[in-house]
Amino acid sequence: MAFNASSIKTSSDGIWQGENPLQYAFPLLIIQTTLVILMSRAVAFFLKPLRQPKVVAEIVGGIILGPSALGRNKDFTHWVFPSWSTPILESVASMGLLFFLFLVGLELDLNAIRRSGKKALGIAVAGISLPFIFGIGVTFLLRKAIKMSDRIGYAEYFVFIGVSLSITAFPVLARILAELKLLTTRVGETAMAAAALNDVVAWILLALAVALAGGAHSPLVSIWVLLSGLAFIGFMIVVVRPVMNWVAIKCSSDHNIVDEGYICLTLAAVMVSGFLTDLIGIHAIFGAFIFGLIIPKRGELAGRLIKRIEDFVFGLLLPLYFASNGLKTDVGKIQGAAAWGVLAVVISSACAGKILGTFMVALLCTIPVRESLALGLLMNTKGLVELVVLNIGREKKVLNDEMFAILVMMALFTTFMTTPTVMAIYKPEHKLPAIGGCEFWKKLSNSKGTDAELRILACIRGPGNSPSLINLIKSSRSTRRFITKLYVMQLVELTDRSSSIVMVQRARKNGIPCIGRFHQGEFSEQRAAAFEAYNQLGRVTVRPTIAISTLSIMHEDICHIAEKKRAAMIILPFHKQWKIDGDQDVEINVGHGWRDVNEKVLINAPCSVGVLIDRGFGLGVQRSPRDGDLLKRVCVVFFGGPDSRKVLKFGGRMVDNPEVRLTVIKFVANAGSDGNIKTQSTSLEVSVELDNNSTASMNYRKEMEHDEAVLADFRGSCNGIAEYIEKETENIAEDVLAIAQSSEFELIVVGKGRFPPAMVAELDNHHNAYNELGPIGGLLASSGNGIKCSVLVIQHHDSTHDDKSLNLKMFNKKDGSVDKCVTNL
């Protein structure tokens, strides 16, 4: 069947009627999109060990599909990427670019840029001006070396070359910094502030370049384009911005029902803004970018818009744009030694201008040499803006195919080199304080009669973790002896779809009070107000911090901050949550990856760790019949051993809290249940086998003495305030489960493991679905047991034995044989 390119139809009637779907626009677009996504994902998989940003894989994937590789096969090009389909593919890709630039403007905070300081301003100016100066020489060279380049006016040619050399890709840089864990370091914050300034200047220069290119035939055209652009910006600020402020108020949390019409009209306004700037003669993306800038950043409108379109734009449309650039890049156009020499000169000029300019100014700002060099390398990152510049230059006939290929290769090389060179040159050393978490707890425990400070690092994944966390800390807030300093760490998973600029706006220096900024991301203004109100409580201070990482290494951030802040305890949310739906509790699993995070923290933590299994603690408090006060009913379960002693100490902080009714239940194994073990317990020696095959011993008799001493001290100081019960048991699991099912308590606090030998055999016979919580904690965390109360499982950090969740073996001293083996401590 002959194909008539002049009559393109949308869809075919199918192969059974003798039609080839690849000769119709929509089926071919589906095939092209699928190939682009599969190829970019495959390249990203191979580049993952090199920690390259996603944009590199998408461009390389497009180059492989284009005339540089697979496109050399004429049959492949004819059927999969025919010339008539290029405008269709680029139109869809440009729609993704339009909304991406809207997101960039939506997420870019001009107030933050104004507050960036003189240091970032100086670095940004040097990073732009020196490459521009280098661009003068490069322009002369290119006009001589590249064919047909001398036919282009020098001014517009120079502006396009200068902009392409001086750009820093703000979103790509944010992703690289997050991958390298530099977002909250001094280098990362300075780089992002300078890159934001650079980004704004780059768009202004690009608008100038487009205006100059459009006025090639008449200088008056360029002037009219610039004046019209300024008028458009004025109209958006004076007229559209107040309207969007009104829309943002309507979409705030104060209004329970948000009209979907507001969201739809806003998205339509993005396209209208793009059409107006295209009508002016600049480019459609400028209209979308300016419209995103004027939308209020506070409130929920910006967050709702991002959630609506981010996945579709980042996951589908934007990869098409990057790939379309690769499809237009023909490396074969770079022919001969002279052309490759020009490529080397362009890359050298881009790197030298950016790195040297940034490096020198950073040194003048008293930034150390290594940090200054790292800043220069980071500022040399290219990406989307670079490709936009090159595409516009190609569309305006300023850049030919050879020059386009050279500049695309330059952008790829400079971005590719950023991560490995920064990793090689700049390795920030986390200087840990002399007093670690365990030593600090000992210091705290030994201080009597003084206002000792208890530091807790509480991790939260979202607003749902906040109420129970606040209630837990309020319950443990002592009114007499201790001051509590609470570090609230928001855990943000770094994924491919995460908006890079939003992550940067979330990031703040660890420990600096910025509760007012908790409205960003998942935190609503109500949560910010809750933490701020809690911060006003006596003897409690709240400091927010953040961890932005992939789940595989997030535990490193948590453990590092715990050590840095000298935390006595880390509190983690369990990887499952329960939501009350009528009379039923609906289980919500937030993902297995978060369970792995908890397990790694339990193994590597420098201090004690508590895992909170939240079933609405503090939301169902009862009134005391005596005084009518709201009381939180808390039960501390004591079995014996280091973890149980830690639990008792934690519960001791609740004793003098008038809002808590504390009950301590000590379980004692029935003498008849395992008499042999009980009579021989004084001759047992317990040892912990570590990963490195070393063995640390502890005498079980001393453990019993420690238990009795701690209990005696607790009963002496808390007699009459807290209820103390000793309970003989033949089946520990069933008795603990009965307490949890009784609905008598809102919170049960238990130790993770290291139980006395008399209780070991019975616990070992029970299936445990959550080994990281120990046998009792795993039982109380399981679903289907009718448990309504929340549970806090505590693991004590022992500097001598260094808990590693490994095997505990009990040896008989007489013959060295193994009597019992307890796993999953």
DSSP-derived secondary structure for 153-170? -HHHHHHHHHHHHH---H
For range 45-55, the mean pLDDT:
86
pLDDT of 464 higher than 60: yes
Conformational region of residue 336, where left means phi above 0, alpha means psi within -120 to 50, and beta covers everything else: left
- The confidence band for 724, taking pLDDT boundaries of 50, 70 and 90, is confident
What are the CA-CA distances from residue 55 to residues 52, 318, 390, 534, 754 (Å)?
8, 9, 15, 43, 50
User: For 468-491, how does the pLDDT look when each residue is reduced to its tens digit (9 = 90+)?
Assistant: 887 888 787 665 556 778 888 888
pLDDT band at 711 (very low <50, low <70, confident <90, very high): confident
Tokens found for residue 339: 């052309």
Alpha carbons within 13 angstroms on the beta-carbon side of residue 558 total: 36
pLDDT computed for residue 542 by the predictor:
79
Per-residue pLDDT at 235? 95
What residues are paired with 493 via a beta bridge? Answer: 549
What is the token pair recorded at 481? 């002896």
Residues above pLDDT 90, as percent of the chain: 19
Instruction: Note whether 473 and 655 are within 8 A (CB).
Output: no
In the block, residue with structure tokens 């300016």: 290
Q: Cα angle at 580 between 577 and 585, to 5 degrees?
A: 70
- Whether the pLDDT of residue 1 is over 50: the answer is no
- pLDDT value at 208 more than 50: yes
User: Which of 273-277, 385-389, 575-579 has the highest mean predicted lDDT (pLDDT)?
Assistant: 273-277
Q: Mean pLDDT over residues 631-644, rounded?
A: 87
Per-residue pLDDT of 384-397, as tens digits, reads 778 888 888 888 88
pLDDT at 273 over 80: yes
CB distance 173 to 378 below 8 Å: yes
Q: Which amino acid is at 36?
A: V
- The amino acid occupying position 772 is E
The CA distance from 413 to 377, in Å, is 12
> What is the bridge-based pairing of β-strands 584-589 and 576-581?
antiparallel
Confidence of residue 530 (pLDDT cuts 50, 70, 90): low
Distance CA 152, CA 140 (A): 12
pLDDT of residue 346: 92
Residue 480 pLDDT = 58
Return the closest-CA partner of residue 210 out of 389, 359, 83, 350. 389
Region 125-143: mean pLDDT is 88
What is the pLDDT confidence band of residue 734, given thresholds at 50, 70 and 90? Answer: confident
Q: Kindly state the helix (H) or strand (E) to which residue 689 belongs, with its residue range.
A: strand 684-689
Residue type, 604: N
Confidence of residue 717 (pLDDT cuts 50, 70, 90): confident
Query: What pLDDT sits at residue 450?
Result: 39
Residue-level pLDDT at 327:
84
Give the residue, 495 or 531, on which the prediction is more confident. 495
- Do 503 and 492 contact (CB within 8 A), yes or no? yes
- Residue 712 pLDDT greater than 50, yes or no: yes
Res 39 pLDDT > 80: yes
Band (pLDDT 50/70/90 cuts) for residue 258 is low
What is the phi-psi region of residue 673: left when phi exceeds 0, alpha when psi lies from -120 to 50, beta otherwise? alpha
Using a 10 angstrom Cβ sphere, with 0-12 exposed, 13-18 middle and 19 or more buried, the burial of residue 137 is exposed
- Residues 165-199: tens digit of each pLDDT: 888 887 788 778 877 878 767 888 788 888 888 87
The pair of structure tokens assigned to 710 is 């701690």
Q: In Å, how far from its chain's centre is CA 194?
A: 21
DSSP 176-191: HHHHTT-TTSHHHHHH
Residue range 80-84: average pLDDT? 90
Mean pLDDT of 691-702: 49
Highest mean pLDDT among 48-57, 624-633, 698-707: 48-57
CA gap 478, 659 in Å, rounded: 11
Average pLDDT of the chain to the nearest whole number: 77
Ramachandran category for residue 178: left, alpha or beta (phi over 0 → left; psi -120 to 50 → alpha): alpha
Phi/psi of residue 578, each to 5°? -125, 130
| Residue-level pLDDT at 170 | 79
pLDDT at 126 over 60: yes
Pairing of strands 540-549, 608-613: unpaired
- Separation of CA 781 from chain center: 27
Lowest mean pLDDT among 89-103, 130-144, 306-320, 482-496: 482-496
pLDDT at 255: 54
CA–CA distance, 492 with 502 (Å, rounded to integer): 11
Q: In 584-645, where do the E strands start and end?
A: 584-589, 608-613, 622-623, 630-638
469/617 Cα distance (integer angstroms): 8
Q: Are 344 and 400 in contact (CB under 8 A)?
A: no
Lowest mean pLDDT among 507-516, 611-620, 636-645: 507-516
Q: What's residue 553's pLDDT?
A: 85
Cα-Cα end-to-end distance for the chain: 73
Give dist(CA 204, CA 282) in Å, integer: 11
Q: Do 139 and 154 contact (CB within 8 A), yes or no? A: yes
- Three-class SS state of 816: coil
Q: Is the pLDDT of residue 584 over 80?
A: no
Let me know: does 184 contact 399? Beta carbons within 8 Å: no
| Band of residue 778 on the pLDDT scale cut at 50, 70, 90 | confident
Rounded Cα distance, 90 and 320, in Å = 8
Q: Which of 249-263, 596-610, 753-767 has the lowest mean pLDDT?
A: 753-767
